A and B are shown apart, each in its own frame.
Chain A
Amino acid sequence: MSDKKALTFSIMDGPFEQARIVTVLRMIDIAAKRGYKISVFAYEGAVSLPFAKQAQHPNAVHGNDLAEENHPLAKDWIAALMKTARDNGGELDWINCGLCVDERGMGDAIDGVRRGTPGDLWSCASESDNTLIVGTR
């Protein structure tokens, strides 16, 4: 194991439902800025986080057009985290659980996302300093 920290996260929730996603992505952001080696195993609904067809929308209730609203999209946050990790000499390896992708039709993910199995979670965790499971509730 190198002197750079290696962390594994497993996430189970999709976007736009609760606070766990923002919280865990903020933690990953800190790790990315420190140049850590980060692995994320997206399990169950979390495979929808990097779904490429997420789209912004205007919000009439807010009185904002599309640009003004700048609606947050998890796929863009993840792409930014991948870039941050690279820019700081680290990496963010995002693995989508393949079976979870298939049952949800979420095969169209952003660049940098790869398909994997629970064996990938185990191998990443085995090579990490620690692992955080962010289970759904």
Chain B
Amino acid sequence: MKALQVISSAYRCTIEEQDDPAVWITHAMKGQGAELGVVLRGNAVCYSIEGQDASGISFGDWQQTNPPRLDRDIASLVDKGIDVYVIEEDARERGITSSAFMPGLKPITRAALAGLFAEYDQIWNW
């Protein structure tokens, strides 16, 4: 069984969770032997950019350490052998060209999505 994780909701609770829960569960299931691919669409295409820094939040005397590292979490998906696609049109609408993607990420057009979906048994829309 192969499942494609289509992730669009981005930066929703990343400070509190120290990650994106859809990306996190992809890592967790991969660790359990799952066969997975990922498509970043909508605002989640912004996860394709290296060098994001969400550190520094504090409330009163509480200094929050260990901020989310969304770029690292995406790059490590690639390191684990997971195909990570980024929808080019969604990136372009946000001023991001595919040349700015981190190494290993795969640009894909909206028109090519149907063909990609056909390669998977289930499509999970996060």
Contacts and interface: CB of A to CB of B under 8 A. Distances in A.
Interface of A: 10, 12, 43-44, 117-119, 121-123, 125-126, 130-131, 133, 135-137
Interface of B: 1, 3, 9, 12-13, 17, 21-22, 25, 28-29, 31-34, 122, 124-126
Nearest to A130: B122
A65 to B, nearest CB: 37
Nearest to B8: A135
Given A121-B25, A126-B1, A137-B9, 19 more contacts: A44-B13, A44-B17, A44-B21, A117-B28, A118-B25, A118-B28, A119-B28, A119-B31, A119-B32, A122-B32, A123-B32, A125-B1, A125-B3, A125-B122, A131-B3, A131-B122, A135-B22, A135-B125, A136-B9
A118 B29 contact: yes
B67 to A, nearest CB: 17
Contacts of B22: 135
Given A131-B122, A135-B9, A135-B126, A121 B29 contact: yes
Given A125-B3, A126-B1, A43 B21 contact: yes
Nearest to A45: B13
A119 B31 CA distance: 8
